[in-house]
Amino acid sequence: MTVTNETLKIIKQRRSIRSFKDEQIREEELQAVLEAGLYAPNAGDQAWHFTVVQNKELLDRLNLAAKEAATQLDIEHLKQMGNNEGFNCLYGAPTLIIVSGDERSPVPLDADCAAATQNLLLAAESIGLGSCWIFFVLLAFYSQQGSELRKELKIPEGYRPYSSAVLGYKKAAVVNVQERKPNLITYIR
Ligand SMILES: Cc1cc2nc3c(=O)[nH]c(=O)nc-3n(C[C@H](O)[C@H](O)[C@H](O)COP(=O)(O)O)c2cc1C
């Protein structure tokens, strides 16, 4: 008999959402998602920091700064995204959470921040919110406005933004879920 439960269903059901309603998520929903992030496994003894951005003007500036930085890269598809006027790397989501890690930590913080980010996404799905992991917006910190943006976002000194996620109410239902690839598991028994 197949084993299943609510958690397993949510894990399978979660997909990246790239189209959001303008309406802001409720504060209780935000807090539930953040709490899930804080309970992720971590090697650095919670040496992370979560930055919630819900200011539309700042979200727009982050998008533009990230796109500007992308145009300077030698990676063709990122350059194209940067030059695409119609592309918004945050997909119009009303909430962005940036997960940063303390660079002074003796253990690398990228895995901790990734684990926290996955918790954010799963928690979001479990309460009916749409979400998407966003690497692209982090390019903003490597743009000309990078250090100013870090200050405005109050990212603590010595912390590096490793990952981020957008949240919002889904505009459209998910279609075309990719089949899982076969032969990705080896059993030694
Ligand atoms: C490290 C990482 C970075 C990602 N960055 C982006 C991004 O910048 N923009 C985006 O639209 N999706 C981004 N994604 C989402 C992936 O494109 C998505 O998870 C993948 O296509 C699988 O689709 P699913 O999430 O619907 O299962 C990222 C995912 C990961 C794990």
Alpha-carbon distances of 26 from 23, 127, 130, rounded to whole Å: 9, 11, 13
Tell me the whole-structure pTM to 2 decimals: 0.97
**Residue 11 maps to a domain:** no
Q: Is residue 87 part of a domain?
A: yes
In a domain, 99, yes or no: yes
Residue whose CA is closest, atom 31 of ligand 1? Answer: 133
With the most atoms of ligand 1 within 8 angstroms of its CB, the residue from 134, 139, 142 to mutate is: 134
Give the CB-side neighbour count of residue 180, counting CA atoms within 13 A. 7
Measuring CA to CA, how many Å separate 1 from each of 4, 67?
9, 49
* Domain encompassing residue 58: 25-168
Q: Could you read off the pLDDT of 23-80 as tens digits, one per residue?
A: 999 999 999 999 999 999 999 999 999 999 999 999 999 999 999 999 999 999 999 9
Split into its structural domains, the chain has a count of: 1
In a domain, 177, yes or no: no
pLDDT digits (tens, 9 = 90+) for 84-98: 999 999 999 999 999
Task: Find all residues with CB under 8 Å of 156, minimum gap 6, and list them.
Answer: 49, 100, 102
Q: Examine residue 116 and state whether it is found in any structural domain, yes or no.
A: yes
Residue 184 lies in a domain: no
CA of 136 to the centre of ligand 1 (A): 10
Can you give the pLDDT at residue 172? 85
In a domain, 5, yes or no: no
CA–centroid distance, residue 102 to ligand 1 (Å): 23
Ligand 1 centroid vs 164 CA: distance in angstroms? 10
Residue 62: predicted pLDDT: 98
CATH, residue 127: 3.40.109.10
Mean pLDDT of the chain: 97
Contact (Cβ atoms closer than 8 angstroms) between residue 37 and residue 99: yes
Domain assignment present for residue 133? The answer is yes
What distance in angstroms lies between residue 1's CA and the mean position of ligand 1's atoms? Answer: 32
Lining residues, ligand 1, CB within 6 Å = 15-16, 18, 132-136
C-alpha span between 130 and 27 (Å, rounded): 15
